[in-house]
Amino acid sequence: MAHPLMPKATAVWLVENTALTFEQIAEFCGLHNLEVQAIADDEVAMGMQGLDPTANGELTQEEIDRCIADPSAKLEMAKPGIPLPKARQKGARYTPVSKRQDRPDAIAWLVKSHPELSDAQISKLIGTTKPTINAIRERTHWNMPNIKPQNPVALGLCNSADLEKVVALARAKAGIVNEPAEQPEAAANTDKNHTPLKPGEVILLKGEARAERERALELEPESPFSDTGVPDAAIPEHAGSVLQNAEDVFSTPTEKTANDA
């Protein structure tokens, strides 16, 4: 149920100027019975100016008299005599006057960046006319030398969600499918087979390439000594004895016992 625009002020006027019950006033104004009683006892809304609901067309005197005669009746809002505004029909998007001069730039950008869009879609997206779109497509617009393609989202003629939706519908209707971009892992695996690595360059292997590398490392024989890059001729003759002594020092007692035996 609709309520008055100013419920407390209306309740103050009804309490002071009518013989309606607290329940009737409370239900009509959307208040609690105790709150209406407090208004009548000057405990709430003291000094508030009452608002006549019959003066602004919210209630009629006949309705008040009817409810006074029947305390169980409920007050009903009066139908407004002023005609309500009609809902705007669906059509081209309204463009503010301050932004209408930017529409040719937006049309040029859409025609250049998204040729799959139809004239009707462009017209509905930024609120322009088909003759203007055709003139820009054919470069016969009177202001063509000064037109610079600009994104309509940046110009404030539409939002990004509407633009993406229109472009997706146009591409689906035209049968255009976006090819997925090549994954960087696949590109790295492809390049590593043909392009040699530079000195010091490190490549991160994942997936099958990493598994193949791990299998290759497992099959590779382990060397007890790392390659130091020093030629064998540069190693002194007594290096073998030094290495043997080091092995004897750091070997476990079990190994020594086994060797002695």
What is the residue whose two structure tokens read 């019950």?
A: 21
Is 116 within 8 Å of 171 (Cβ atoms)? yes
9, amino acid identity: A
Does the pLDDT value for residue 138 go beyond 80? yes
Is 143 within 8 Å of 85 (Cβ atoms)? no
174-205 pLDDT tens trace? 877 655 444 445 444 544 444 554 555 545 55
33-65 pLDDT tens trace? 999 999 988 888 788 888 899 888 888 999 999
What is the enclosing helix (H) or strand (E) of 256? helix 253-260
Does the pLDDT value for residue 217 go beyond 90? no
Overall pTM surpassing 0.85 (yes/no): no
Q: In this predicted structure, what is the pLDDT of residue 199? A: 53
What is the enclosing helix (H) or strand (E) of 208? helix 208-219
Is 147 within 8 Å of 105 (Cβ atoms)? yes
